[in-house]
Amino acid sequence: MSTTSGNNSKNTLLGVGAALIVALLGLNIFLWVNRGQDKQQIGTLTENLDETSKLKEELNKQYMSALTELEDMRGTNEELNALIDQQKQELTAQKSKIDGMLRTKGDLTRARAEIAKMQEQAQQYLAEINQLKGENETLKGDNSRLVTEKTALEGNLSAANASNQELSSAKGQLESQKAELEATKTALSKKVNQASVIKLDDVEVVSLAIKESGKPTKKNAAKSVDQLDVCFKIIPNEVAEVGKEVFHVRILSPTGETLAVESMGSGNFTNDNGETIPFTKAKETSYNRGTANLCISWNPGQPFAAGTYKVEVYNKGYLAGTGSVKLK
């Protein structure tokens, strides 16, 4: 009994020991596997941290490079400077966005794509500014050319104005000279015209009554007078040209009005002062530098008023002789 009991105890101990050994082996295997997984996770984390650091460094490098290049583009053009400030703000906003992605340990592939996008955008900004600067240089060249052309045009205009002023001055002088010549010509013509006036030796005015037989008889009573005859003798003038001469006879009533009836040959002439003067009747003759007696008759077919009738005879607009008759 004792021997059997002892063997059972020994067997029990051996079983417990074996179980403990198996348990320890399982624990060791579990710990070894976990340790391998931890090493792998640690390695992954380390690799991610290294990649994140590299991306941060690359991000900062590209950001500062872009800012420097943009700042180097700054000049005196206010429009370009404002555009550069705007682009710098956009790059700063994009960098902050990428920093947030790296800080929260997000998708590194996406962060890397955003960094590449920022770099591309920076290059695009630089290209845009270079294009604008080129266009500005072209505009400056055009402005310079326009300024040169404007200066040339202003010079030409100034020269043209000076020439116009000279021409205007010369024209004014010519017009003044022309006016003087015209005045001289008019004065000379007037003198020549006046010198060629044919004067009258005597102007006789006769008042007549016409009998039933048609024979005229001199009368002084106004109620008996039917007709006035005006006769005058011309004095030869060697200056006057041979040819037709016209004498305008003007009979003035006692009240100073010119006796005129258009149907009887009355009209108007221009005197030496340029005034329009009415006349009673005109007498035309062929002048040959000799003496001649000329007469006109005025029979208006209506009674004459009492008073003095004055007669003026004109040649070439100048008064050549006068006469008068008084009716009672």
Q: What is the DSSP string of 166-227?
A: HHHHHHHHHHHHHHHHHHHHHHHHHHHHHHT---EEEEEEEEEEE-TTS-EEE---GGG--E
pLDDT at 183: 63
Same domain as 191, residue 204: no
Same domain as 250, residue 134: no
Round to whole Å and give the CA distance between 40 and 34. 10
pLDDT at 48: 52
Q: Average per-residue pLDDT in the chain?
A: 80
Query: Average pLDDT of 161-167?
Result: 81
**Predicted confidence (pLDDT) at residue 269 exceeds the cutoff of 90:** yes
Please say which residue of 195, 215, 248 terminates a domain.
195
More confident call, 64 vs 236: 236
Split into its structural domains, the chain has a count of: 2
Same domain as 163, residue 211: no
**Exposed/middle/buried for residue 280 (C-beta within 10 Å: 0-12, 13-18, 19+):** buried
Same domain as 204, residue 191: no
Range of the domain at 69: 17-195
**Predicted confidence (pLDDT) at residue 107 exceeds the cutoff of 90:** no
**Predicted confidence (pLDDT) at residue 62 exceeds the cutoff of 60:** yes
Query: Average pLDDT of 35-49?
Result: 49
Per-residue tokens: 284: 């035309």
Please say which residue of 146, 175, 195 terminates a domain.
195
Round to whole Å and give the CA distance between 135 and 77. 12
The region of weakest confidence among 90-94, 176-180, 244-248, 304-308 is 176-180
pLDDT at 7: 62
Per-residue tokens: 20: 């403990």
User: Can you say whether the dihedral through the CA atoms of 159, 162, 164, 167 is positive or negative?
Assistant: negative
Round to whole Å and give the CA distance between 20 and 26. 10
pLDDT at 158: 81
Round to whole Å and give the CA distance between 57 and 99. 11
249: enclosing H helix or E strand:
strand 243-252
Residue 105, Ramachandran bin (φ over 0: left; ψ between -120 and 50: alpha; else beta): left
Round to whole Å and give the CA distance between 291 and 100. 135
**Predicted confidence (pLDDT) at residue 43 exceeds the cutoff of 60:** no
